[in-house]
A and B are shown apart, each in its own frame.
Chain A
């Protein structure tokens, strides 16, 4: 199956700094990617839809200025958590795929803000 690679898998940063997470589709072109957030023992919550060459679409309640998404190529989408705070600590996962195919997920990034 298709492979989606997410990097880094784990990051610890200081409060107030920014962190960038990369999501790459390794063997297919993804015009659309999705970013999710998962709290402990909770389900995945969609944060935003990343569209190649255009602005991301954010879900209600997600701060677009805090979670910057860039989808500059057909194989790469990035999520930058700006001015991170401890409450931003979470597990972030990206996926690629459309409604006609299965969704392929990255390995996830565990962000800890101290």
Chain B
């Protein structure tokens, strides 16, 4: 059974910092790994999708990497802004198209 872990549960940084959010998974037989953003009381917004054959994806200030062999993915946020404050979730997709989520990292970017 796939297990996805995100540590730490919360992170507070000053504006402008570059930061890395970590995600680990136990079963490397994944089809893809996705990073999502969730604002309080809202649904999920897809940030980046990395297919199992890919090593990284970039979108604007975000860069996500995937190392299947070690069961790790990272989300890099460059030059963080207060508007980046949210909960970031990673999810691994299995062969049955089911997503297994981590508990998320709640990020607070201080002005």
Contact = CB atoms under 8 A, between A and B. Distances in A.
A99 B32 contact: yes
State which size class the interface on A falls in.
20 to 34
A34 B44 contact: no
A104 B97 CA distance: 12
Interface stretch (A13-21, A38-46, A65-73, A81-89): A38-46
A1 B89 contact: no
A101 B34 CA distance: 10
Given A43-B89, A44-B89, A102 B99 contact: no
A93 interface: yes
A103 interface: yes
Nearest to B10: A41
Contact of A102 (B34, B43, B96, B102): B34
Interface of B: 4, 31-32, 34, 36, 41-46, 49, 89, 91, 93-104
Interface of A: 1, 6, 32, 34, 41-44, 46, 49, 91, 93, 95, 97-108, 110
